[in-house]
Amino acid sequence: MKDLDFGFLVPYIPQLVQASKLTFAIGVLSFGAALLIAVCVGLLRSGNLPRTLDGLLGIYVEVFRGTPLLIQLFFIYYGLPSFGIMFEPVTAAVMGLSLNSGAYMSEVVRASVKAVGAGQYEAALCLGYKPLQVYRHIVLPQAFRIALPTLMNYFSTMIKETSLVSVLSIAEITRIGNQIYARTLSPFEIYLTIGAIYFCMTWSVALISKRLERGTTKWNP
């Protein structure tokens, strides 16, 4: 085994730092958009929707859960221009990641809402709450506490899945790592460094998740 030498990476530190910032930014933006999609779709599918709307939402969920994320990114960035629909690389990346994770996360939201006892909803209506008030003050706080650990796990997963957007010519951490490898032919050091960067980002998300979970456990329904 050759001796490890990370010294050759020093000139590339600014590129790695910039790429890491872009990677984390794409992950955060994608998670925010995915969470919005998940809440909307999950809440709608947890209620009594018209069959047509429920079917359309169900198709969205099944299609994005049943096809590879990489193919979805290719379709959005390379396929849609055939129909005159074009997106910037980062926009396409955020769209693909958020639509994919939103489909998975919507099922978490739907299951969490249904986990709140129907009796609480009915009791609140009897006390004079309006349906929106019931969801805002009673159902959603409890559903959020139930869904939080799983949703934060999806956040960590999304940070790692940003490595796939390198196929869209985005200068995120994996693409920059590949470029450095092509110049230096030292794969072990560069990919070990990239792995450590991803670990630091996902570990930060895990710490945030634990703090949020501790905060929510202070409230008991």
Contact (CB, 8 A) for 128 and 200: no
More confident residue, 57 or 50: 57
Q: What angle do CA 194, 181, 206 make, to 5 degrees?
A: 10
pLDDT digits (tens, 9 = 90+) for 112-161: 888 887 777 777 777 777 777 777 778 888 888 888 889 999 999 999 99
- Cα separation, 99 vs 83, in Å, equals 19
Tens-place pLDDT, residues 67-95? 999 999 999 999 999 999 999 999 999 99
Residue type for 207, please? Answer: L
Q: What is the pLDDT of residue 142?
A: 84
CATH 1.10.3720.10 for the 13-216 domain, yes or no: yes
pLDDT digits (tens, 9 = 90+) for 166-189: 888 898 999 999 999 999 888 889
Give Cα separations from 127 to 115, 118, 177 (angstroms). Answer: 21, 14, 60
Provide the mean pLDDT of the chain: 88
Distance (Å, whole) CA 28 – CA 15: 20
Rounded to 10 deg, the angle between the 13-46 and 173-184 helix axes is 150
- List Cβ neighbours of 210 (8 Å cut-off, separation of 6 or more): none
Contact between 178 and 19 under an 8 Å Cβ cutoff? The reply is no
| Residue 91 tokens, joined | 């926009």
**Domain edges within the chain:** 13-216
Q: Which two tokens stand for residue 108?
A: 């978490």
The 10 Å CB-count burial string (b at 16+, else e) for 39-51 is bebbbebbeeeee
Q: How far apart are CA 217 and CA 80, in angstroms?
A: 45
CB 89 within 8 A of CB 77: yes
- What confidence score (pLDDT) does residue 180 get? 92
SS3 of 48, please?
Answer: coil
